[in-house]
Amino acid sequence: MTSEARSPIRLLVADDHDILRQGLVAVLERDPRFAVVATASNGEEAVAAFRQTQPDLAIMDLRMPVMEGPEAIRAIRAEFPNARVVVLTVYEGDVDIARALSAGAAAYVLKGMPSDELFEAILAVHEGRQYIPPRITQVLDQAGRTDLTRREMDVLRLIVSGHSNREIAQDLNTTEGTIKSYVNGLLGKLGVRDRTQAATAAIRRGLVKLEEAEKARAEREAQGLGLDPEP
Give a three-class secondary structure readout of the chain. Answer: CCHHHHCCEEEEEECCCHHHHHHHHHHHHCCCCEEEEEEECCHHHHHHHHHHHCCCEEEECCCCCCCCHHHHHHHHHHHCCCCCEEEEECCCCHHHHHHHHHHCCCEEEECCCCHHHHHHHHHHHHCCCCECCHHHHHHHHHCCCCCCCHHHHHHHHHHHCCCCHHHHHHHCCCCHHHHHHHHHHHHHHHCCCCHHHHHHHHHHHCCCCHHHHHHHHHHHHHCCCCCCCCC
For range 158-172, the mean pLDDT: 90
Q: Is residue 231 part of a domain?
A: no
pLDDT at 152: 87
Q: Is residue 118 scored above 70 in pLDDT?
A: yes
Q: What is the CATH number of the domain that holds 70?
A: 3.40.50.2300
Q: Is 125 found in the same domain as 198?
A: no
For range 11-37, the mean pLDDT: 97
* Least confident window among 8-17, 42-51, 161-170, 190-199: 190-199
Q: Is residue 205 scored above 50 in pLDDT?
A: yes
Q: Is 109 found in the same domain as 37?
A: yes
Q: Is residue 131 scored above 50 in pLDDT?
A: yes
pLDDT at 229: 45
The parent domain of residue 191 ranges over: 150-222
Q: What is the pTM of this model?
A: 0.71
pLDDT at 69: 96
Question: Could you give the number of structural domains in the chain?
Answer: 2
Last-in-domain residue among 113, 142, 171: 142
